[in-house]
Structure 1
Amino acid sequence: MGSGSKQVALVVPAAGSGTRMGEEIPKPYLTIAGKTILEHTLLQFRQVDAIHELIVSTSEFFKDQTCEIVASVFGDIELTVIEGGAERQESVFKALQYVSDSAELIAIHDAVRPFVSKQLILECINEASNPGVDGSILATPAKDTIKEVEDAKYVVETPKRERMWQAQTPQIFKREVLLRAYNNATMRKLMGTDDSSLVEMIGGKVSVIKSTTDNFKITYPLDFQLAKLILSGK
């Protein structure tokens, strides 16, 4: 099923702080090569015709700047900027209240993953559109051996590495399933480490699209330096 047959709402949580970067400015609003990281990220999705609405959750201090950024990138689709919550999950939940009824799929993408390719976004949309699944996520096979550790000290188990994958975004789900998953988590006060984990909690079937390490999240100063090298090289 082609991506053009589904209408996709894009939700971008951008309310995170810059503490791990050692910056006062939140990471999405740091500038690289003349544009904020948020702008670089949104420009990747600008290339995808299936995106017909965008909801960005941010802090109250950056709402005006965010409105300017989204309008400059997406001038011709429905745009909503809201104040997010203290945690990512709360920010996404608040954003979901603004998704229109016409959206068949909801894509959630980290504001600080500016290198996702159009091709991978389309593959994720196409997979999530299939009737046999509830959603699709990008992920990469774990390179290192993963250890399950207790009390941050003792090894409990070594899972089979070939079964271990590192989740990325976008994570794209059928609208009704994602809303049900978030309502369930909110009602039962459950916290997930990503959106897929909440869908898994209600028994949802999530498919994996093999991604690349290029689609990294800018979390630490080293990530920021790498992003600067890549974007200035372009």
Structure 2
Amino acid sequence: MTTKSLIIPAAGSGSRMQKETPKPFLELSGATILEHTVRQFLSLDGLVQVVVATSDEYLSHANTILDKVLPEDVKGYSVSGGDERQDSIRNALAVLPDVDLVMIHDAVRPFVEAKRIVECCKEAQRSGAAILGVPAKDTIKRVDDSQFVEETPDRNFLWQAQTPQVFHKNVIVKAFEKAKRDRFSGTDDASLVEYLGRKVRIVKGSQTNFKITYPLDLDIARMLIEKKTG
């Protein structure tokens, strides 16, 4: 069986949500967003560990959530997050056991489907690195510093990256080590693997696997959960 660890960065603030509480710890239908998110991975074969990287203020809260939702054979940890997402992931990688695959998933994507997670893990096992994503549905413009359009890329080759992003453990560890040495900052975990020189396969995800960022997203999430549990 392929063993897997799940890393969930949850150190972001709630500023864009206009809330004092960080987004992962906001409640939806009696449970935090983080709890809803973790539960999406519990049916996955080979899951041995879940690590949540969060602010020091919420370490205890994260541990309580993990203790509540994780089965006895899955270990849960919380680690201090860093100033940037990349720092938080690096801190989480430092406590991983010897596993085959590392999954990294946004704390505020609670609607990822189990079948998509499985497909992404299977592809990562074959190729070393795989991420969920969806084809771009809008026309994308590349602009200059003055906000003038410079190019309209062919939409057929543009995908919107999602999570989970899944990697062989040795691949993602080497990617983070090189990024630290070179002081390279990526916009997602896959970009560090690309910087390492490794190819990343994209696996088609779903539009429902959206990231809760703004108040409207929270309203939509609440409706989806109520529909699911109603």
* Normalised TM-score (structure 1): 0.95
For 1:114, the aligned partner's letter is: P
Q: 1:179 & 1:171 partners in 2: Cα distance?
A: 14
Q: 1:189 & 1:33 partners in 2: Cα distance?
A: 41
CA distance change for structure 1 residues 135 and 152 in 2, over 3 Å: closer, same or farther? Answer: farther
> What residue in structure 1 maps to residue 117 of structure 2?
121
For 2:28, the aligned partner's letter is: I
> What residue in structure 2 maps to residue 25 of structure 1?
21
Deviates more, 1:60-69 or 1:161-170: 60-69
Q: Percent identity, please.
A: 45
CA distance change for structure 1 residues 154 and 128 in 2, over 3 Å: closer, same or farther? Answer: same
1:89-104 alignment runs, 5 A limit? 89-101=86-98, 103-104=99-100
> What residue in structure 2 maps to residue 10 of structure 1?
6
Question: What are the Cα deviations for residues 165-208 of structure 1, in whole angstroms up to 9, with x where unaligned?
Answer: 00000000011010000111111111100000000001111111
Pairing 1:81–2:69 present: no
Q: 1:82 & 1:175 partners in 2: Cα distance?
A: 18
For 1:94, the aligned partner's letter is: N
For 2:141, the aligned partner's letter is: K
1:128-139 alignment runs, 5 A limit? 128-130=124-126, 133-139=127-133
> How many pairs align?
227
Pairing 1:61–2:40 present: no
For 2:85, the aligned partner's letter is: R
Q: 2:154 aligns with which of 160, 175, 178?
A: 160
Question: What are the Cα deviations for residues 106-156 of structure 1, in whole angstroms up to 9, with x where unaligned?
Answer: 0000000000011000000111111xx221100000001111111150112
Q: 1:173 & 1:78 partners in 2: Cα distance?
A: 20
Q: 2:36 aligns with which of 19, 40, 48?
A: 40
> What residue in structure 1 maps to residue 208 of structure 2?
214
For 1:157, the aligned partner's letter is: E
Please list every run of at least 4 consecutive aligned residues from structure 1 whose deviation after the TM superposition is greater than 2 angstroms: none
SS at 2:198's partner residue?
A: coil
Pairing 1:227–2:224 present: no
Structure 2, unpaired ranges of 5+: none
